[in-house]
C-alpha cells in the first residue's frame, strides 16, 4: 500500500516503531496516573496541577528547544529525550513499588516530561525529512499520526489492564520500558549525519539571533504566519470544548452515561485514523492552502453539530468527520513546514508553531469552563465550532493562502 511506502526506508521505520511504542506508553501512563491521583488525593485540582506542570516547561523552553534542534544532531536529542523520560518514569515506578511515591514526585516527573517534549517534538518533525525523500513525506507524516492515534486507542486499554493486573506500579514500569525501547531503536540512527548547518549561530549570545532568524522565516511566508496566528485561536475553540465540556455535554445534553462518553472519546481518534489512511495514499499534495483550511472549516462545523438537538448517531458521525477533517489539516500543515522551511531552520520554526499552538490553551480551558457553567455545554460546542469555521475562513481572505499549492 502507498500509505506504508515510508517504512521501506529503514531509518524512518526504526524511528517510527520506537515512537509508536513510546506513545502507547504515554497514554498507558495517563490512565494509571489518573487512577493513582484519584486514589491518593481524590482531588481534581491535583490532576489539573499535574497537567499544568507538564505544559509550563514545554512552553518556557520550546523556543530554546528549536534552537538546539537546529544546532545539534537531531538523533542525539531524540535519544537523550527518550532516555531522560525513561529514567524519570522508572523513578516513579520505583517509588511506587517501595510505597514512597507522593504527589510532589509526580509534579517533578511532569516537569521533566514537559521539558523533554520541548526538545523532542521539534527534533522529530525536523528529522523526518532527513530520513525520507520528498515523495515519501506524506506517507511518513500519515504513519506518524496513525501511531499517535494507536497510542490513544491501545494505551488506555493496556493501562487499565496493567493496573488491574498489578496495580499502578506495573503500569508506571510499562511506561518506563516504552521509553527505553524507543531509545534502543534510535541508537542505530546515531551514525546518520544530522549535524546542523555550519552557518548556525553558536554560543549563548547567538540564541537571540537564531530565534530572530526563525521568526524571520515565519514572518516572510504568509502561509506560515497567517496559519500560526489564526490557529493559536482555533486551538482554543476546538480543544476547549473537547477537553473541558464534553463530559457535561454527555450528561446534561445527551443524557448519557460513562459508556456514551467513552464511545465519543473513541470515535474522534478513529476519525483521525481514517483521515490519515486517506491522506497517506498521495505521494504529492496539491492545493494545500485551500484543502487544509477547508478541512479545518469542516472540523469546526462538525464540532458545532455535537451541540445540536440531533440523534446520537448523527453526533457520532459528526465526531468522526471532525477527527478526519482535523487530520487532513494537520498532515498538510506538517507537510508545509517540512517542504517550505529550510532544513537548517526547521527546528526553530516548529518551536514557534508549538508555542503558538499551546500558549493560549490554559486561558482557553479556563474560559471554556466558565462558559460551560454560564451558558451550558451545548452552546459551548455550537459557538466553538462556528467560531472555528469563521476564524479559519478569515485566513482564506489572504490570496497567498488561497493560492498556496
- Domain 2-196 and domain 211-402 have a common topology: yes
Task: Select the CATH number that applies to the domain covering 211-402 from these four: 1.10.287.130, 3.30.110.30, 3.20.20.80, 1.20.1250.20.
Answer: 1.20.1250.20
Report how far residue 132's alpha carbon sits from residue 139's, in angstroms, rounded to the nearest whole number.
9
Categorise residue 167: left if φ over 0, alpha if ψ from -120 to 50, beta otherwise.
left
Q: CATH for 2-196? A: 1.20.1250.20
DSSP alpha helices (H): ranges in 98-193? 103-131, 137-186
Q: Is the pLDDT of residue 199 over 50?
A: no
Higher pLDDT, 52 or 329: 329
Task: Report residue 277's pLDDT band, with 50, 70 and 90 as the boundaries.
Answer: confident
Task: Report residue 30's pLDDT band, with 50, 70 and 90 as the boundaries.
Answer: confident
pLDDT of residue 200: 45
Report how far residue 112's alpha carbon sits from residue 180's, in angstroms, rounded to the nearest whole number.
16
Residues 6+ apart with CB under 8 A from 304: 381, 382, 384, 385, 386, 389
Q: Give, as one character, the DSSP assignment of residue 284.
A: S
| Domain residue spans of the chain | 2-196, 211-402
pLDDT of residue 1: 64
pLDDT of residue 45: 63
Report how far residue 100's alpha carbon sits from residue 97's, in angstroms, rounded to the nearest whole number.
8
Average pLDDT rounded to a whole number, residues 4-25: 90
Per the CB < 8 A criterion, the answer to whether 155 and 24 are in contact is yes
Cell 496516573 found at: 33
Task: Report residue 206's pLDDT band, with 50, 70 and 90 as the boundaries.
Answer: confident
Three cell numbers at 384? 466553538
Q: Is the pLDDT of residue 89 over 70?
A: yes
Residues 6+ apart with CB under 8 A from 150: 20, 23, 24
Higher pLDDT, 282 or 227: 227
pLDDT, one tens digit per residue, over 96-134 is 999 899 989 998 998 999 899 889 988 998 899 888 888
Amino acid at each position: 500500500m502507498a500509505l506504508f511506502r515510508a517504512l521501506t526506508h529503514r531509518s524512518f521505520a526504526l524511528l517510527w516503531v520506537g515512537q509508536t511504542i513510546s506513545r502507547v506508553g504515554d497514554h498507558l501512563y495517563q490512565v494509571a496516573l489518573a487512577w493513582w491521583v484519584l486514589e491518593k488525593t481524590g482531588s481534581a485540582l491535583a490532576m489539573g496541577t499535574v497537567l499544568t506542570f507538564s505544559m509550563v516547561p514545554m512552553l518556557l523552553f520550546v523556543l530554546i528547544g528549536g534552537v538546539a534542534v537546529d544546532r545539534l544532531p537531531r538523533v542525539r536529542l531524540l535519544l537523550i529525550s527518550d532516555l531522560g523520560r525513561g529514567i524519570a518514569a522508572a523513578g516513579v515506578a520505583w517509588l511506587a513499588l517501595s510505597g514512597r511515591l507522593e504527589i510532589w514526585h509526580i509534579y517533578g516527573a511532569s516537569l521533566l516530561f514537559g521539558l523533554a517534549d520541548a526538545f523532542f517534538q521539534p527534533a522529530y518533525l525536523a528529522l523526518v525529512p532527513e530520513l525520507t525523500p520528498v515523495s515519501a513525506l506524506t506517507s511518513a507524516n500519515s504513519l506518524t499520526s496513525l501511531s499517535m492515534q494507536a497510542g490513544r486507542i491501545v494505551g488506555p486499554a493496556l493501562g487499565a489492564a496493567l493496573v488491574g493486573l498489578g496495580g499502578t506500579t506495573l503500569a508506571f514500569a510499562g511506561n518506563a520500558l516504552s521509553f527505553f525501547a524507543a531509545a534502543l531503536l534510535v541508537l542505530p540512527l546515531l551514525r546518520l549525519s544530522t549535524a546542523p548547518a555550519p552557518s548556525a549561530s553558536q554560543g549563548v549570545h547567538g540564541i537571540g539571533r537564531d530565534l530572530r532568524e526563525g521568526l524571520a522565516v515565519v514572518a516572510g511566508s504568509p502561509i506560515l504566519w497567517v496559519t500560526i496566528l489564526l490557529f493559536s485561536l482555533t486551538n482554543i475553540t476546538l480543544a476547549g470544548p473537547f477537553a473541558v465540556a464534553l463530559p457535561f455535554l454527555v450528561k446534561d445534553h445527551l443524557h448519557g452515561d460513562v459508556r456514551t462518553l467513552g464511545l465519543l472519546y473513541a470515535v474522534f481518534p478513529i476519525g483521525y485514523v481514517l483521515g490519515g489512511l486517506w491522506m497517506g495514499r498521495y505521494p504529492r499534495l496539491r492545493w494545500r492552502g485551500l484543502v487544509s483550511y477547508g478541512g479545518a472549516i469542516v472540523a469546526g462545523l462538525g464540532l458545532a453539530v455535537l451541540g445540536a438537538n440531533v440523534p446520537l448517531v448523527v453526533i457520532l458521525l459528526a465526531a468522526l468527520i471532525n477527527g478526519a477533517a482535523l487530520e487532513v489539516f494537520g498532515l498538510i500543515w506538517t507537510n508545509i513546514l517540512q517542504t517550505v522551511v529550510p532544513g537548517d531552520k526547521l527546528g526553530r520554526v516548529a518551536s514557534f508553531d508549538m508555542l503558538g499552538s499551546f500558549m493560549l490553551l490554559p486561558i482557553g480551558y479556563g474560559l471554556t469552563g466558565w462558559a460551560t457553567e454560564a451558558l451550558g455545554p451545548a452552546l459551548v460546542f455550537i459557538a466553538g465550532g462556528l467560531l472555528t469555521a469563521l476564524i479559519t475562513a478569515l485566513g482564506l481572505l489572504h490570496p497567498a493562502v488561497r493560492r498556496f499549492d
